[in-house]
A and B are shown apart, each in its own frame.
Chain A
């Protein structure tokens, strides 16, 4: 128990499957992971290796099929959707590959939005937004809407948004994949800087060499398993056990059948 407290994230025997039509695909095939507060952790791996799924499970966006996920000392396993949403709001910040800013809101409104969701007053949130936009270096762009910003600028707004709630962990999924390499390097240096100055834990999934180079600690994911040092070996489980066939309603099954059929022809 005592040892758990030291770890901000503790994952044990994590399994998660996707179904492509009627074909199961194990995205996480028994993952164990511990992360300490203040780390700048990069999870590397080719696309499809399962790193995004891992991030989603840690970010309380997805439920694992089995295994234990403890984040900030809380077991996310049995929680309902609302509790997960609240948890994301209180403890986590997200940076996505596709920026995912809200189109109709200006940069500062985008940042202020999450803060307002936390229940803080609008004026206070706007101040906080201006502060964080300043911190990510685009304080002068606060009144622009996302479609008036470049990719790198949008991603900076996303980083500011992720930090504006004062999260314990920022989860970034391929944050540099949609921008050019120079902008990507600037972004990763920004995050490193923020990690150092504010002590926020960063978990970054990426296959970008620049990001991997900047890693405080580097983990490699391959075929849904973490490769490399300090990982207890688990023999692979049979597929049928990892991916139990989900019960789907009839119309859903028919739709999948139709999609499969379309794909084949």
Chain B
């Protein structure tokens, strides 16, 4: 086989720019659509998980071993200095401190079993955006003492409004029942984010005093960007090993959202598998139609003394070039589309209304996960080569005389 066939293959592409353009665009449009679909999906998940984490949970939490599955005050963190040092070493700046326990919220007319989360008003905004969810009244300020914030549904059920008092009843560190008056200063509502009911928030200092937990906390929530989550978790686990602490990622604690993303991705894999089929049909068709029209040309090559392998390589090299050009154009187009829509956002409020639904903002900003981009690229390159194999094989099997007679 002579290398000249590669050169001829290349000339075949430059010599018929319209045909080349059509084939390349068949691949490029398909790939760009796939890339964009992934971008849309990934952006949505990122938005959803981001909203979920910034509502209450954070990306990571550090507790005393066993506290998460059995939140008793006995399992508290007494000295947080080594943890804070480890956080600093890991380059984490966004952390806060909390105290969490079960409580009973009582108003004049009703009671409700709730989870008490006491937070530091200064550092809390670094990790969550609870303050933005306040629909009535205000969120905590430094210096607040016996005040609390309730979910909208809880407040309604308890029949209380901003300015009213509620009594929180809880067991303190030593197991003694204790009760304190708290003034309701704000009401939060998350539109289905799970904070409307069964939750009562107070400043850290007041709760520590009430529960005899001076200087003690139960958890340290942390925010890190999703790309760094795994490395930071690893670093912290190594640094804090042997200290009887647990470092839990958000999905270790609340697997539902993670499972949901897995589920959605599973569905999308199925979906994109079928879309890939459409792209495959388009590419194969475009390649075949153009190749079948060139039978006579292949006959000339064979008659002039080109070996079958030479012709095979020539036609395959054309597909390869087309595939590479199509993939380059498709990736650029897809990424461009993702970047453009990420900049402007895709407004789904027509379909979803203006509020957040299921942690998703109505303005979706696509974002591309590089792993998904890689998988898609590999798949499209694979099908393009596969689509190129058949015409190449057909061309090389031709009888020169019959091919020359072909109109």
CB atoms of B308 and A82 under 8 A apart: yes
CA distance A134 to B195 in the complex (A): 89
Q: Digitize B1-42: 1 where CB-to-A-CB distance is under 8 Å, 0 elsewhere.
A: 010100110011011100000000000000000000000000
- How does the 8 Å CB contact mask read for A35-66 relative to B, with 1 for contact and 0 for none? 00000000000000000000010010110000
CA distance in complex: A113, B15 (Å): 15
Is B334 positioned at the interface, with any CB of A under 8 Å from its CB? no
- Interface presence of A20 (CB below 8 A): no
In the complex, whether A116 has a CB less than 8 A from a CB of chain B is yes
Given A61-B400, A102-B300, A113-B4: A85 in contact with B307 (beta carbons within 8 A): yes
Given contacts A116-B4, A117-B305, contact A104 B15 (CB under 8 A): yes
Taking the complex as formed, is A33 at the interface, i.e. its CB lies under 8 A from any CB of chain B?
Answer: no
In angstroms, Cα B11 to Cα A104, docked, is 7
Contact count A vs B, C-beta below 8 Å: 73
Q: Are B401 and A105 in contact (CB under 8 A)?
A: no
Q: Name the residue on A nearest B302 (C-beta).
A: A85
Contact of A105 with B304 at beta-carbon distance under 8 Å, contacts A100-B404, A119-B2 already known = no
Whether, in the assembled complex, A205 has its beta carbon less than 8 Å from a beta carbon of chain B, the answer is no
Chain B positions within 8 Å of A168 at CB level = none
Minimum C-beta distance from A54 to chain B (A)? 12
A255 shortest CB reach to chain B, Å = 14
Query: What's the least CB distance linking A121 to chain B, in Å?
Result: 10
Known contacts being A102-B297, A104-B16, A105-B8, is A116 close to B2, with CB within 8 Å? yes
User: B130 in the interface, Cβ–Cβ < 8 Å?
Assistant: no
Contact A100 B303 (CB under 8 A): yes
Closest Cβ–Cβ distance, residue A66 to chain B (whole Å) = 18
Q: Does B309 contact A (CB under 8 A)?
A: yes
Report the separation of the CA atoms of residues A105 and B302 in the bound assembly, to the nearest whole angstrom. Answer: 16
Residue of B nearest to A105 (CB): B11
B65 on interface, CB distance cutoff 8 Å: no
Give the chain A neighbours of B15 by CB distance below 8 A: 103-105, 145
Can you list, as one digit per residue, whether each of B267-305 has a CB less than 8 Å from chain A (1) or not (0)? 000000000000000000000000000001101111111
B11 touches A86 (CB 8 A): no
Residue in chain A with minimal CB distance to B3: A116
When each residue 305-324 of chain B gets 1 if its CB lies under 8 Å from chain A and 0 otherwise, what string results?
11111100000000000000
Q: How far is the CA of A154 from the CA of B339 in the complex (A)?
A: 51
Asked if A138 is an interface residue, CB under 8 A from chain B, the answer is no
- For residue A162, which residue of chain B has the nearest CB? B304
> A141 at interface (Cβ–Cβ under 8 A)?
no
Residues of A within 8 A of B308 (CB): 81-82, 85
In the complex, chain B residues whose CB is within 8 Å of the CB of A219: none
Interfacial chain B residues near A25, Cβ < 8 Å:
none
Q: A207 within 8 Å of B by Cβ?
A: no
Q: How far is the CB of A48 from chain B (nearest CB, A)?
A: 13
Min CB gap A166→B, angstroms: 13
Of the candidates A62, A94, A100, A117, the one whose C-beta lies within 8 Å of that of B4 is A117
Instruction: Check if A113 sits within 8 Å of B2, measured CB to CB.
Output: no
Q: Is the CB of B404 within 8 A of A82?
A: no
A85, A92, A101 interface centre (most CB from chain B within 10 Å) = A85
Please, how many angstroms separate the alpha-carbon atoms of A33 and B63 in the complex?
A: 100
* Chain A residue nearest to B396 in the complex (CB): A81
The smallest beta-carbon distance between B64 and chain A, in angstroms, is 74
Question: In the complex, how many angstroms separate the beta carbon of B347 from the nearest chain A beta carbon?
Answer: 47
CB distance from A117 to the nearest CB of B (A): 6
Contact residues in A for B14 (Cβ distance below 8 Å): 104
Cβ-defined contact, A88 with B11, below 8 A? no
> How near does chain A come to B39, taking the closest CB pair, in angstroms?
37
Within 8 A of B (CB), among A140-171: 145, 161, 165
Q: Is A191 an interface residue (CB 8 A)?
A: no
Tell me the A94-129 residues at the B interface (CB within 8 Å).
Answer: 94, 96, 100-105, 109, 113-114, 116-117, 119, 122
B: which residues have CB within 8 A of A?
A: 2, 4, 7-8, 11-12, 14-16, 296-297, 299-310, 399-401, 404
- 29 A/B residue pairs, CB under 8 Å, sorted by A: A59-B303, A61-B400, A62-B401, A82-B309, A85-B302, A85-B305, A85-B308, A87-B305, A88-B304, A90-B305, A96-B404, A100-B296, A100-B300, A100-B303, A102-B297, A102-B300, A102-B301, A103-B15, A103-B297, A104-B16, A105-B8, A113-B4, A113-B304, A114-B305, A116-B2, A116-B7, A117-B2, A117-B305, A117-B310
3 closest cross-chain pairs (CB), A and B: A104-B15, A89-B305, A116-B4
- Residues of chain A whose beta carbon lies under 8 Å from any beta carbon of chain B: 56, 59, 61-62, 81-82, 85-90, 92, 94, 96, 100-105, 109, 113-114, 116-117, 119, 122, 145, 161, 165
